[in-house]
Structure 1
């Protein structure tokens, strides 16, 4: 009897010791994964400005949250596990949308080599021999995502205005890796990729990052050294622009118009009843033209619609804006372009003049003052007069007190307007966050708040 009790107690002890060892081993694995995750995100977003998105897919449901870079190290442990992602660029407010880009921090190509039955290790060896260091520069990070890989080139932070050039470089880099499975749909500026230390639930593999160097490229260097066709060396015939330069300029126009569209909605306090279909249609069309990603543009348009005071039902707005995607596809169709040119148009798609957009959306003169590119001739002339006045004042080397006060008053009014809008959308934002979004000092922010 004693022997039986002893053996039973011994068995229980061994069981609990075994459980403790399993638990400790699990903790060690989790700690190692967390270290890898922190190392990956902090290496990528060192000294970043703006909001970084963390995202996770659980049981088919996508959730995401936004953190300041300094918060990431403390918050990552809450996200450890399967299918965890983070944004490659940052946003000036906690919304992962193209018009909210704060800093462009990386160029990247998602290589789905598994679709071609290529082993990721073999693909990297092939790229090292044929691409890196010659056709394209050496990437900073290579993410082995479980089935494929992602090549990341870190860049010196570039502002949102550089997005058209960034997009051109993205497209070019992706094209060079097309033969090993580059995903053309994963080159938008809001893209998220898997974090090292997380698990790919599709095959249970841990995501691993390979760090190659910490030099950060500049967009201009990448353009000049690897995209020579963007800067033609030989003079072309008068009146004819090189194709890629032309495409880059068109992209810039689409981006500027998209930002104007968002600013216009903001000016109208998101109450655009009677114009909702037009706004959503233009957002989807210009989004497609800019990112060349119909699926992502649709998703961002739906988020844009959801922020309106009275959003359109999802099915209705998708159906009402479907022609935007068709028009964008036609722009890449040779026959459609030839037919459009034969009929006297610049090409297929919607070639809208500012006057037509202003007419459609009933944009007032007062609203045009706050827009970048959707303006009429009168507003263009007014801005030219202002530039001419400023140039003359600079030539004289002096500015009258009245002129100085008038200029400062306009700047203050604009900052006050921006501050009010930001506080309305982010009532819990801290003083430092508000100052960072506006690009002013804490002291200046306090002076502005006292005037509200």
Structure 2
């Protein structure tokens, strides 16, 4: 009877934790378990399945994804909704007690240099700080990653793990056990408010708001990192689109595709092991995948280049030689030549395009704008054709209005870092 009550208590804790985190979620949620043998099993569920599936996910070393995926595959290019920011504090590495660390953060960090987390997970040896956010689509990943890096940096002095800030991360479930310590995972719920990503950016990374004047003494480093991550992510998505266009028949380009995927994934997440695993999954989708040992060996230089890119001395030496920095600074023309990307394929890509495709897109935009101005197409048709470019802004505007119902168009424009006139145009589409 006692064991039954303990199991019921653990189930209640687990269910409350997962449902609190993923309330009204969209997409697939990943659950994973590490067996005593070291094997890693992983399953994916729709949000409406979570409550009924929880009894199957009790015991030791049970984890769930903090974000959701648009298909049952935990890969960075499959992100459906970004739902949280998080920092894994491995304070046991510094011999700090987790409760002591939490008290220190409450005095020195929370509500000062960082907002108050929604959840603190006591994972058995350390703690994880979770900031729930209003869900944002995958296109917000570069901004999300910039905030992740900033939050992690501010907690590095108490043991924050730089390798645990990628968008596909899983963390332990309340009520389960950490096999290394034998301690049950516990949760502290602090508040239910969900932060807006732009709200956090404005408060903690104002460098990323181009319409705001720079503050004295600030550098463009954060803006540069944000733009570079944006490029890496869009290029990574282009690789996924390219193999899809080729129906996964990519013989002759497999090693190069995997090399580029591994390198750009490294640059995006700063996590060597996770990037390697995602590259192996990427390789497995080919009609004729490379053998695991072969593809790891063939793409090893991607990790070496990534480490050089993160090395101050290596960067300085590269700059002295006339390069933008260490690592691989590839031009689109080089990538197009290497992968033999045809003009008709470029039409479906976002960033790996040549000058001819850029001019073609500009002509299309200009032609569309001219027709709209002359009235040969309706305003509605014009906006529908521009939907991909405005859908994120529309979503951001809806959230801003929800949070600031009294704000006028000028104030909303400042919140979204756009002009007042653009706010008026967006409102017509709501």
Give TM class, smaller chain. 0.7 to 0.9
- 2:27 corresponds to which of 24, 32, 50: 50
Q: Secondary structure at the match of 2:83?
A: strand
The superposition leaves residues 340-388 of structure 1 with CA deviations (integer Å, 9 ceiling, x where unpaired) of: 1222211111111110000000000111111001011111111111111
1:69 aligns with 2:44: no
Instruction: Measure the CA separation in 1 of the matches of 2:375 and 2:135.
Output: 34
Q: Give, in whole Å, the separation in 1 of the partners of 2:269 and 2:91.
A: 22
Map of 1:25-424 to 2, 5 A cutoff? 25-59=2-36, 60-231=38-209, 234=213, 242-399=220-377
The 3-state SS of whatever aligns with 1:269 is coil
- Given that 1:140 and 1:154 are in contact with CA atoms closer than 8 Å, whether structure 2 keeps it comes out as yes
Residues in 2 aligned to 1:287 and 1:377: alpha-carbon distance in whole angstroms: 26
Q: Matched residues in 2 for 1:98 and 1:305: separation? A: 14
Question: Partners in 2 of 1:195 and 1:329 — Cα distance?
Answer: 33
Preserved contact between residue 271 and residue 310 of structure 1 (Cα < 8 Å): yes
Tell me, in whole angstroms, the C-alpha distance in 2 between the residues paired with 1:114 and 1:244.
30
1:313 Cα deviation (Å)? 1.2
Structure 2 contact 207–214 (Cα < 8 Å) conserved = no
Alpha-carbon distance in 1 for matches of 2:193, 2:289? 45
Q: Which residue of 1 aligns with 2:409?
A: none
Q: 1:185 aligns to what SS in structure 2?
A: helix
Alpha-carbon separation, structure 1, partners of 2:213 and 2:27? 41
2:162 alignment partner, SS class: coil
Measure, in 1, the Cα distance between the counterparts of 2:381 and 2:264.
Answer: 38
For 1:162 and 1:235, the matched residues in 2 are separated by 22
Q: TM-score, normalised by structure 1?
A: 0.81
Give the secondary structure class of the aligned counterpart of 2:256: helix
Tell me, which stretches of 5 or more residues in structure 2 are unaligned?
389-430
Moved >3 Å (runs of 4+): 228-237
What's the Cα RMSD here?
2.1
Q: Deviations over 1:67-94 (max 9, x none)?
A: 0001000001011111110000000000
Of 249-258 and 339-348, more deviation after overlay is shown by 339-348
1:21 corresponding residue in structure 2? none
Cα distance per residue 1:285-335 (max 9 Å; x no partner): 000111111111111101111121111111111111111111111112222
Cα distance in 2 between the residues matched to 1:30 and 1:333: 49
Q: Once the two structures are superposed, what CA deviation does each residue of 1:162-214 show, in whole Å capped at 9, x if it has no partner?
A: 10111110011001111111011000000000000111111221111110000
1:438 aligned residue: none
- In terms of Rg, which structure is larger? 1
**Residues 306 and 48 of structure 1, relative CA distance in 2, 3 Å threshold:** same
Partners of 1:118 and 1:157 in 2: CA distance: 33
Judge conservation of contact 1:236–1:242 (CA < 8 Å) in 2. Answer: no
